[in-house]
Every structure is written in C-alpha cells, then in structure tokens.
C-alpha cells in the first residue's frame, strides 16, 4: 500500500492489517504506552473544505506518533491562487514525508499521488471518505467482534460516505443495503464494483434496506459544496430519515453510526442520535486510532 486514495484500492488483507494496527495503537494510547513510531516525520495537511474531526485527529495523531503535522489551508497556499496540483505535489514531496488532502475532486487527490513521490491520504473528496470508513469498520468490529456476515444499511444520499462504506463493507464480507432516493444513487464506479455481488442491495425504499440490519448508518443530505441545492435536497430526502419507527425493522440491538456532523431532525432524529451517542462518539474517537494506523503503514 503506497497511498490511501479510496477504498476501491485496498484489499481485504490490507484493511484487516490497518484495523489490527489501529486496535493496537488504541490499546497503547489507553494505557499511556508511548508509541513514537513516526519520530522525525512530517505530514502536510491540505484543507480546501472545513473540518473538525479530520483535522484534529490527524494533527494530534501525528504528534502522538512522534511526528510533526503542518496544517495547510488552501486559502494560504499558492494552490488556492491557481498553482497546479502537479507542481504542488513535486514541491511538497521534497519537504514532507506524507500529505493528507481534503478537497472536492477525486482526480486532484489522484494527481497529487501520481506527480508526488510521497504517500498521499484522502481526507475526504466528493467521491470518497476512506479514513472515516476505516474508523467505521473498526467501530463495528470492536463492538461485534467481526465484520463478515453482518448486515450494514445506509439510508440517504449516495455520497462519499456511501461510496466508501459500500466498497469497504463488501470487501470485508458484509451485506450492504442502501436506500437512496431516485437520482441520488452511489457513484457509477461503486455500482460497477458491486455489480453481481449477492451481498449488495440498492433500493429507494428505506424500510426494505433497514430490514434485519445489524448496523444502520446515515449522513447529511447536503454535503460540503452542495449548499446551493440544500432546499431541493430537503424535499427530495424527506422520508429518508433514521427514526425510532424504521429502526424497529432493524435487528434487535442494531448499532447506529453517523460520521458527523449530524443534522438532527433531518437524516436522523434527536431521539435515535442520543440513544446511540456512545456508538457515534466511539466512531468519532476511532478516527484517531484508524488514521494513526494508516500513517504508520504509509510513513513508517
Ligand atoms: N467526519 C468527518 O470527516 O468530520 P470533519 O468534517 O469534522 O473532519
Ligand atoms: N458527506 C459529508 C461528510 C462530512 C464528513 C460531506 O462531504 O460533507
């Protein structure tokens, strides 16, 4: 593994290896065992969109590993004034040991990896959010002891989260069902990957997708960059909410996850969110451990 660009690039063995390392790093952190596996290494973190979890977990994670993180807002970089990503990649490769980038186009992340000579980590694009999905898989495995055979259900927008959850879940032997309104299905590359897999089920009816699910997941109806479509999306997604009624159709004791930030009253009710807050905030914590594992694999 040279980069973390999208879940489609990872094998089941690589995912398992990352999750095992993440569990180990979580154990070391909880027991105050120092783990400076990346002493002297630097990570540049380019942000073209807002972030709470990704920024803080990468920044503190890099510090805990003995390395040094640099927060690089695109407003302050020449990339924000039009310097090509191909040149930025070649320059930053001469200073840094790794780059994390949060941006819009997946092609920009792929170009950074192609032109640079250091590992690149996708910290979210419009297409993918692999760091979040590694943390989600870690959280499910931690709670249930396994991934294989469990049913994951996603209700909502066929966005970066569903694109990455579907691929990651299927690779790990999970059953993946998704309910999206017509016109909001996952990306064609994901549908192509899932084509013919009996473990994949796509519908526009939430009650069909959620039936018997062990893990129920949702995300905002309007992702970053879609602000102009917000009102139309609120109309189109009415009915695609996780609430106490449809959660009754899931397996008893089903987990509920949300990558956050959440919009209570839209994709999830306040009641369901608070009833599952322990799982959701464990998921948020696991961003730290899963990303430290990725950093160790790529920069170590
Ligand atoms: N879930 C997630 O990526 O959160 P941030 O946007 O706060 O980084
Ligand atoms: N789908 C959301 C995820 C935020 C972490 C977005 O892209 O804004």
Tens-digit pLDDT profile for residues 155-166: 999 999 999 999
Indicate whether residue 223 lines ligand 2 (CB < 6 A): yes
Residue 91's pLDDT is: 98
Is residue 2, in this structure, part of any structural domain at all? no
Domain co-membership, 54 together with 167: no
Q: pLDDT tens digits, residue range 161-209? A: 999 999 999 999 999 999 999 999 999 999 999 999 999 999 999 999 9
Q: pLDDT digit string (tens) for 252-285? A: 999 999 999 999 999 999 999 999 999 999 999 9
| 121 and 21 within one domain | yes
Question: Of ligand 2's atoms, which has the minimum distance to the CA of residue 225?
Answer: 8
* CA distances from residue 104 to 2, 33, 74, 122, 226 in whole angstroms, order as listed: 22, 37, 12, 11, 11
Ligand 2 centre to CA of 33 (Å) is 33
**Alpha carbons 270 and 250: distance in angstroms, whole number:** 18
With a pLDDT cut of 70, the percent of the chain lying above it is 100
Please, what is the Cα angle at 267 between 211 and 258, to 5 degrees?
A: 80
Q: Does residue 204 carry a catalytic annotation?
A: no
pLDDT band at residue 118 using 50, 70 and 90 as cut-offs = very high
Choosing from 158, 161, 228 the residue with most ligand 2 atoms within 8 A of its CB, the one to mutate for a pocket test is 161
Claim to verify: residue 174 and residue 41 sit in the same structural domain: no
Q: Any idea what the CATH number is for the domain that residue 79 is in?
A: 3.40.50.1370
Catalytic entry in 129, 233, 258, 289: 129
The mean of the pLDDT values for the chain is 98
Q: Does 213 fall in a domain?
A: yes
Could you say which DSSP state residue 254 is in? Answer: -
86 is catalytic: no
Q: Looking at residue 260, what is its pLDDT?
A: 98
What is the edge-to-edge ordering of all strands in the sheet holding 175-179? 200-203, 175-179, 151-155, 215-218, 255-258
Phi, psi of 29 (to 5 degrees): -65, -45
Q: Residue 99 falls within a domain, yes or no?
A: yes
Q: What is the pLDDT of residue 230?
A: 98
Residue 165 CB–ligand 2 contact under 6 Å: no
- With respect to residue 1, please indicate whether it lies within any of the assigned structural domains: no
d(CA 189, CA 290): 25
Q: Does residue 259's CB lie within 6 angstroms of at least one atom of ligand 2?
A: yes
pLDDT tens track for 126-144: 999 999 999 999 999 999 9
Q: What is the pLDDT of residues 72-99, one digit of tens each?
A: 998 899 998 999 999 999 999 999 999 9
**Cβ(133) – ligand 2 distance below 6 Å:** no
Dihedral sign for Cα atoms in the order 12, 19, 166, 110: negative
Number of neighbours of residue 133 by Cβ within 10 angstroms = 27
Whether ligand 2 lies within 6 angstroms of the CB of 267 is answered as no
Q: Are residues 135 and 95 in the same domain?
A: no
Nearest Cα to 154, choosing from 223, 270, 240?
Answer: 240
Instruction: Name which residue sits closest to atom 6 of ligand 2, judged by CA.
Output: 223
What's the whole-model pTM score?
0.98
**Ligand 2 within 6 A of CB of 161:** yes
As for how many domains the chain has, the answer is 2
| 87 and 154 both lie in a single domain | no
Percent of the chain with pLDDT over 90: 99
Which residues form the domain of 60?
Answer: 7-129+287-299
Residue 84 lies in a domain: yes
- Show Cβ contacts of residue 41 under 8 Å, excluding neighbours closer than 6 positions: 62, 65, 66, 67, 68, 97, 98, 299
Alpha-carbon distance 252 to 212, whole Å? 8
153 and 274 within one domain = yes
Same domain flag for 139 and 276: yes
Q: What pLDDT sits at residue 123? A: 98
129 is catalytic: yes
């Amino acid at each position: 593994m040279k980069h973390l660009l999208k879940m489609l690039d990872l094998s089941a063995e690589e995912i398992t290896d990352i999750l095992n390392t993440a569990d180990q790093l979580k154990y070391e952190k909880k027991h105050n065992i120092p783990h400076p596996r990346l002493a002297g290494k630097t990570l540049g973190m380019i942000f073209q969109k807002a972030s709470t979890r990704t920024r803080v977990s990468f920044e503190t994670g890099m510090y805990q590993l003995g390395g040094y993180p640099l927060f690089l807002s695109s407003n302050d970089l020449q990339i924000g004034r039009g310097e090509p990503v191909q040149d930025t990649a070649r320059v930053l490769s001469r200073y840094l040991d790794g780059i994390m980038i949060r941006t819009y186009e997946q092609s920009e992340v792929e170009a950074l990896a192609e032109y640079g000579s250091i590992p690149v980590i996708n910290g979210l694009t419009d297409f993918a959010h692999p760091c979040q999905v590694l943390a989600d898989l870690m959280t499910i495995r931690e709670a249930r002891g396994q991934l294989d055979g469990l049913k994951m259900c996603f209700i909502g927008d066929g966005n970066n989260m569903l694109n990455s959850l579907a691929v990651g879940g299927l690779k790990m032997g999970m059953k993946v069902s998704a309910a999206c309104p017509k016109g909001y299905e996952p990306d064609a590359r994901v549908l192509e990957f899932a084509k013919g897999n009996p473990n994949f089920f796509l519908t526009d009816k939430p009650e069909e997708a959620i039936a018997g699910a062990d893990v129920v997941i949702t995300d905002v109806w309007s992702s970053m960059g879609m602000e102009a479509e917000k009102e139309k999306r609120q109309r189109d997604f009415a009915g695609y909410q996780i609430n106490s009624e449809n959660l009754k159709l899931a397996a008893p004791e089903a987990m509920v996850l949300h990558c956050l930030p959440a919009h209570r009253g839209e994709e999830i009710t306040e009641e369901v969110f608070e009833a599952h807050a322990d799982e959701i905030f464990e998921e948020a914590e696991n961003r730290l451990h899963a990303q430290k594992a990725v950093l160790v694999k790529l920069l170590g």
